[in-house]
Structure 1
Amino acid sequence: MTKTIDQKALKFIDDNQLIDKGDKVLVALSGGADSVFLLYFLQKFKKRFGIELVAFHLNHNLRGKSASDDEKFCFDFCSKYKIKFISVSKDVKTYSKQMKISVEEAGRKIRYSELYKTKNKVGCTKIATAHNASDNVETMMLNFIKGAGVKGLSGIPIRRDDIIRPIICLTAEEIRNYLKQKKIRFRIDESNLNSDYERNFLRNEIIPKLKKRLNPRLEEKVLNTTKIISEISSILDAQIKKVKLTALKFYKNELGIKLKVISKLDRSFLNVLIKSVLENNFDVELSSENIYDIVRLISSQTGSMVHLKGNLYVFREREELIIGRKYIGKSDSITVRIRIGQKAEIGNRIISISEVKRKLLKFTGDKSAEFISGDGLGEIFEIRTWRAGDKFKPIGMKGTKKISDFLADEKISSIRKNEQLVLTNNGKIVWVIGLRIDERFKITSDTKRIIKLEVSDK
């Protein structure tokens, strides 16, 4: 039986070209059955593959003495087979509270972050994780139940960049039977027995019944299905990439989707495009309802808005859908005093004012850095949100202009207008920050004192 399992895994790895001769593979080792099997299997066929192995263990510090015992077990296992062992300890619970995410999600983020750090540090070419066919069924079913798109129904990818899943063709039952016959010990995480968790509920209660009643080869059939869906997803990704070239416009803190381009698209394809754009650029998971709400904005009035989790918004402009994160509303007006030679942090921006010598004067097209005449100005400036009725004299113009009209001419999105800042001195607007200085403060040949104004992202 063990020989059959070996042959099945070897064929799967070869067919999918997961391992190349000369690879240095970092194996994620928790001490559980799957990761123990993976490391044992790769060690067993190390010469056949022509590879070098390194094992990585993350102590989540979630299970007290059990977590320490897991780490010691992994160390002893690697010592027995003379495999280089690297262990990292992290406080996952504290991280989850800080980031306001679940402990499971926090553990996943930290695990992959540390795996990549270790991979680069020790010079590995690939990371191998021990996801199996049973994990794939659970993932696909969870995504299906929650209304995932094509990518979610693709299950766990066999390969993603440098990460490979060499034993995703094997079921959890096959792996445990193999270890039992070989008399290879492994650790049991007691939390996996608790069906209060969504995944455990599927694993312990639902999937066994589906296998017994409907299809004992459920994992194999689902793996085949997810591979087909994955191929369809790849084709869609290629088409999405082409459309993005003409549909997307990147701003400093926002992303625009051109309505002229996307309004011509098939509705089904449009749904997939919207999901891809937001999830890839803003690291957010969208539900079907979220996507439908965003698509409805296309035919809505200018000024319509959809709020999403993660302080994300999608705003309907005249010619674009504007996507960005939380902004400062008009009710959240800002007033900050700043002296020459100081910096001020406001939101995600840093604004600085400094005096410079004329020889350092260099005019460029960069609107984030401006030079003004400091003659007659006071030492204290004020940064504030613009107000209704504010006027200034844009450089190059003879007359004055309302800030509201100026922002409209500059095609600043309605939502960004609300957080536009101005710099004033003695009550006069000197700079519409990041956009234009006032004509009255421009530098001339008679200017004696030169002030540099800068704005940058944190």
Structure 2
Amino acid sequence: MISAFQEHIRQKSLLDTNSTYLFACSGGIDSMVLATLLHQLKIPFILAHVNFHLRGEESNDDEEFVKNWAIDHEIPFQTLDADAHQVAENQKISTQMAARVIRYDWFENLRIKLGLNGIILAHHEDDQIETIFLNLLRGTGLDGLIGMADRKGHLIRPLLPFSREQIEKFAKENDIQWREDSSNKKTDYKRNKLRLDALPLLFDTAPDAKKNLLSSLNRLKDSSKAFSTLFENWKSQEIKVDGDFQFLPISAIKNTSGATSLLFYWLRPFGFNSDQAESILEACQTHNPGKIFETGSFRLTIDRDELILSPKTGVFETITIQKNDIEVSWEGKTYELLKLHEKAPIDKSKTNAMLDLEKINFPLEIRSWELGDKFIPLGMKNSKKISDFLIDLKVSVAEKSKIKVLISEGKIAWVIGYRIADWAKLDASTRKTLYIKQKS
């Protein structure tokens, strides 16, 4: 096994003798076999062990065993006493999940503190199979089916190609001692039920069942790589990025094979799940513009012809403009407030506004427009809902969310950046003008 192990880490460039690693060691057979392999190949490492005290004196004996092995082999040793029950209670998660969080956080902190080149974990082939089946039971996509990687970031799993049977054989042939975790014999946990009951029955269905399963998983891993390449090409062709906003034409997914997966892989980094991806596709197919899907920090809006992904923005605080103010600012824009007492050429730019100063009353307010807001657009006699006004102009949902209005005594005087109200316009009787001009 040692020659196969050496060849594997060489081919995958996982470990080398010029670097020092942190090795997470429980004291079980997998850990002790890997510790022996690393030591025999003279790969420098620091041994790290976490004592959760979940099995009383047995946990303490595990720690003592690992510590003594490190001393006997002149390997630096680090240990952590941790209370997984307390973390589980505080974070409202299972004890097993809490233990995992504690372990990985501590390992990473140690790696950074000691300037190490990676964290070595003792997961092997059978762990890989168990992990994939657990993912299937939870509900998963291609990522869950390809399982753990030989290397992911600073995490290194050099035993993944080796089975539990190979590990046990190597341990016996080399008289390697290890600690048995009594909790591994209990079927209280899903992983143990799989390992002790379900998978042995599955593998008994045919002599080559396990071999064929592993071959299938390898093909899935290769298919996943192919999909990733195709997805990135699709993403670059179809998704338009504009600042913090992303736009995807509905036509790019509406009648496209695998549309749910394309949506999921696009939106997953922003906190959306597969169920939401299915609901989004359904809303597109049933033409449901205006429907919104949200995560903690992002919002996806279905517009008429496209999906719009944007960060959630905070509530816009109403701004008050007093009579003597000379400028006003919000969201990175600053406007001069010029009071003109003689006729001036009319500025027709939508960015700015010229209002009859004698028709408006201070204080003025700037706020986000709201559903139900109405105003009389310049050149019209009847009021119009702002929502309808913006639809007529084909303003996108993303832009609608940014629009503000200027209010005078409860009446809208200007849909900022689009149109002033007819009642506030300059006319032949105008003597004074409020000129709101954006600074360059």
> Following the alignment from structure 1 to structure 2, what is the Cα–Cα distance between the partners of residues 54 and 431?
68
Q: Does 1:208 align with 2:200?
A: yes
Look up the SS of the partner of 1:56 in the other structure.
Answer: strand
Distance 1:212 1:114, change over 3 A: same
Q: Is the 8 A contact 1:431 1:437 kept in 2?
A: yes
Q: Gaps (5+ residues) in structure 2?
A: 322-326, 339-360, 425-432
> Following the alignment from structure 1 to structure 2, what is the Cα–Cα distance between the partners of residues 352 and 122?
51
Match of 1:39 among 20, 35, 49: 35
How many angstroms does 1:19 deviate by? Answer: 2.3
Which residue of 2 is the match for residue 174 of structure 1?
A: 166
> Following the alignment from structure 1 to structure 2, what is the Cα–Cα distance between the partners of residues 124 and 71?
22
Q: Is the 8 A contact 2:319 2:367 kept in 1?
A: no
> Following the alignment from structure 1 to structure 2, what is the Cα–Cα distance between the partners of residues 125 and 80?
24
Match of 2:142 among 142, 147, 150: 150
Q: Is the 8 A contact 1:377 1:425 kept in 2?
A: yes
Q: Does 1:404 align with 2:387?
A: yes
Q: Is the 8 A contact 1:386 1:420 kept in 2?
A: no
Which residue of 2 is the match for residue 318 of structure 1?
A: 304
1:194-273 correspondence runs (5 A) = 194-215=186-207, 218=210, 220-250=211-241, 255-263=246-254, 265=256, 267-268=257-258, 270-273=259-262
Deviations 1:4-29 (A, max 9, x none): x3233223323333224523322222
How many angstroms does 1:374 deviate by? Answer: 8.3
> Following the alignment from structure 1 to structure 2, what is the Cα–Cα distance between the partners of residues 217 and 35?
27
Farther-moved stretch of structure 1 (420-429 vs 135-144): 420-429
Distance 1:136 1:293, change over 3 A: same
Match of 1:274 among 252, 257, 263: 263
How many angstroms does 1:167 deviate by? Answer: 0.7
Amino acid at match of 2:71: S
Q: Is the 8 A contact 2:23 2:119 kept in 1?
A: yes
Q: Does 1:388 align with 2:386?
A: no
Deviations 1:93-140 (A, max 9, x none): 555555554444444445444433333332222322111111111122
Deviations 1:33-57 (A, max 9, x none): 32232223212212xxxx4212333
How many angstroms does 1:165 deviate by? Answer: 1.4
> Following the alignment from structure 2 to structure 1, what is the Cα–Cα distance between the partners of residues 115 and 295?
38
Which residue of 2 is the match for residue 136 of structure 1?
A: 128
Number of aligned positions between the proteins: 400
> Following the alignment from structure 1 to structure 2, what is the Cα–Cα distance between the partners of residues 150 and 24?
33
Which residue of 2 is the match for residue 296 of structure 1?
A: 282
Farther-moved stretch of structure 1 (232-241 vs 205-214): 205-214
> Following the alignment from structure 2 to structure 1, what is the Cα–Cα distance between the partners of residues 95 and 386?
47
Deviations 1:204-237 (A, max 9, x none): 111222334423772x543333222212211211
Q: Does 1:369 align with 2:332?
A: yes
Amino acid at match of 1:207: L
1:405-420 correspondence runs (5 A) = 405=388, 408=391, 411-413=395-397
> Following the alignment from structure 1 to structure 2, what is the Cα–Cα distance between the partners of residues 222 and 118?
37
Q: TM-score, normalised by structure 1?
A: 0.67
Q: Gaps (5+ residues) in structure 1?
A: 328-346, 356-360, 441-445, 453-458
Which residue of 2 is the match for residue 29 of structure 1?
A: 25
Look up the SS of the partner of 1:151 in the other structure.
Answer: helix
Q: Is the 8 A contact 2:22 2:116 kept in 1?
A: yes
Q: Is the 8 A contact 1:169 1:223 kept in 2?
A: no
Structure with greater Cα Rg: 2
Q: Is the 8 A contact 1:305 1:313 kept in 2?
A: no
Look up the SS of the partner of 2:22 in the other structure.
Answer: strand
Q: Is the 8 A contact 1:128 1:166 kept in 2?
A: yes
Q: Is the 8 A contact 1:247 1:262 kept in 2?
A: no
Deviations 1:43-84 (A, max 9, x none): 2212xxxx4212333455655665555445444433332223
> Following the alignment from structure 1 to structure 2, what is the Cα–Cα distance between the partners of residues 194 and 236?
39
Q: TM-score, normalised by structure 2?
A: 0.70
Q: Is the 8 A contact 2:30 2:167 kept in 1?
A: yes
Q: Is the 8 A contact 1:131 1:168 kept in 2?
A: yes
How many angstroms does 1:244 deviate by? Answer: 1.0
Which residue of 2 is the match for residue 117 of structure 1?
A: 109
Which residue of 2 is the match for residue 343 of structure 1?
A: none
> Following the alignment from structure 2 to structure 1, what is the Cα–Cα distance between the partners of residues 41 and 25?
17
Amino acid at match of 2:220: I
Deviations 1:258-296 (A, max 9, x none): 22333464x13x3432232233x1345536xx6544433
Deviations 1:161-198 (A, max 9, x none): 43321111222243244335544443444433221322
Distance 1:205 1:311, change over 3 A: farther
Q: Is the 8 A contact 1:194 1:200 kept in 2?
A: yes
Q: Is the 8 A contact 2:124 2:159 kept in 1?
A: yes
Distance 1:406 1:75, change over 3 A: farther
Q: Is the 8 A contact 1:284 1:310 kept in 2?
A: no
Deviations 1:336-374 (A, max 9, x none): xxxxxxxxxxx856969899xxxxx999xxx72233568
